[in-house]
Amino acid sequence: MVLLGVFFDALEQNAVGLVGPVLRESWGTSAAELGFLNTITFTAAALGRLTTGIIGDKMGRRAMLTVNLLLFSLGALICAFAPVYAVVAIGRFIVGFGLGGEIAIAVTMMSEFFAARHRGTAVGIINVTAGGLGNMLAPGFGVLVFTMFSGPDRWRWLFGLLAVPALLVLFYRRFVPETPRYLLSRGKVDEANLVLNRLASGRLRGELGEPKHYITAVDSGERVVPERNRLRDVFAGGLRRRTLSLGVAVCMSYGAQISILSLMPTILVAQGHSITKSLVFTLVMQSGSLVGALVASTAARYVARKVVLTVAAALGCAAAFAFGFLATDVALILTLGAAVNCCIITLNTTIWIFAPEQFPTRVRAFGTSIILALGSLAGGLTPMLAGAAFDSYGMAGMFTLIGVLFVGLAVSVQIPPETFGRPMEEDGPEAGK
């Protein structure tokens, strides 16, 4: 259920890039106006992540999944029926708010459901579904919609069909439990044991047999009295350095990713390719995203987080410079584009794994949300810089900027402590003291 939600998140995240050429054809929308739609989407995503993090730490993770899914489905419908550009912008703000919160709470929940040995792979699978499959299939979804529906308003169908995730809300309410780790942090030992019994039985509904007491007030690794949620802790003591350094890192990776996602179809059309062909090319390049997510998820079990981040950033920098200066034919564009996307999603996935491990349970959702919110802000602002670089200096200028972002990421990830193979409790509770 969590993975299905983030899959649709990825399709929604790609929507502006997919409809961009059609909106320009239909409404005469300028490149600046398209860039603003991305900016407002990712600014709202930052707000959604912060809000979800605060509520998730105070009221629980589970309920926010349903709320966020409903929000971005509502926003998609508003975009589909928008009579003017301003209404599309309002719809994208609502979409962004729900989208940002959904991913932040999904990362937190998956990190809390799994033990240290499997945690990295489990969180990484989120981006296999979103950054990998979602980003790769999004251009194919665009081709399918624009093939099935014709006319200047065919972009409306793409937005409208993305409202389908609202149907998943009923399943969220029935099947997804609260995380035992959160319940323990609130002193709810009996409820935590109930969830653990359901997970152990493989039955999230129906009657259970004689319950086992996996955790007691004596042997639990978490406190069994409610912990005070001091949200300012993420900017105090040892947590401040972790929050800021990973915040810089995620700004670099999200800025690179969203610049490519939002601008590549329009850039390819500007170079003389048809809308359909540009989307097909983008799909091929996005196959690298799936490879990157799989690499990061697999490496999470065997390789330290900082090693993965440093190596992927170095390779991404090399691929970006090669794309900017050497991609002169279709084969090189597709190959180097896939390589850049592979490195970007390897970085994003590993940051998603790394971020929740830096915080104690009492502020984990908020701390993770702060980091991802900074990424959303960068995702909203960087495409404008990348677009200006492309307008002034072409592909070389745009991908030089992306290469510089990779360098900044490689430096910033050296600051937070390594968490590979360690239980969350080993670093978290003491980090803010």
If you ran DSSP here, which 8-state letter would residue 272 be given? T
CA-closest candidate to residue 3, choices 195, 165, 203: 165
pTM of the predicted structure, to 2 decimals: 0.76
CB 75 within 8 A of CB 37: no
pLDDT in tens, 312-340: 999 999 999 999 898 888 889 899 999 99
Whether 427 shows a pLDDT value over 60: the answer reads no
Q: Mean of the pLDDT values across residues 395-403?
A: 93
Looking at per-residue pLDDT, the higher value among 219 and 313 belongs to 313
CB 124 within 8 A of CB 73: no
CB 289 within 8 A of CB 132: yes
CB 65 within 8 A of CB 11: no
- Percentage of the residues of the chain whose pLDDT score is greater than 90: 27
pLDDT in tens, 145-158: 988 998 888 999 99
First to last CA, the chain: 36
List of domains in the chain: 2-176+236-414 (1.20.1250.20)
Q: Mean of the pLDDT values across residues 396-415?
A: 95
Whether 55 shows a pLDDT value over 70: the answer reads yes
Q: Would you state the pLDDT for residue 171? A: 67
Q: Mean of the pLDDT values across residues 254-282?
A: 82
Q: Would you state the pLDDT for residue 204? A: 65
> What average pLDDT is seen over the chain?
83
* Max avg pLDDT among 115-124, 139-148, 345-354: 345-354
44 vs 361: CA distance, rounded Å = 25
245 vs 413: CA distance, rounded Å = 6
Looking at per-residue pLDDT, the higher value among 330 and 401 belongs to 401
28 vs 17: CA distance, rounded Å = 15
Look at residue 70 and give its three-state secondary structure: helix
Whether 220 shows a pLDDT value over 60: the answer reads no
Kindly state the tokens that stand for 311: 């190596």
Give the number of other CB atoms < 10 A from CB of residue 225.
10
Looking at per-residue pLDDT, the higher value among 172 and 274 belongs to 274
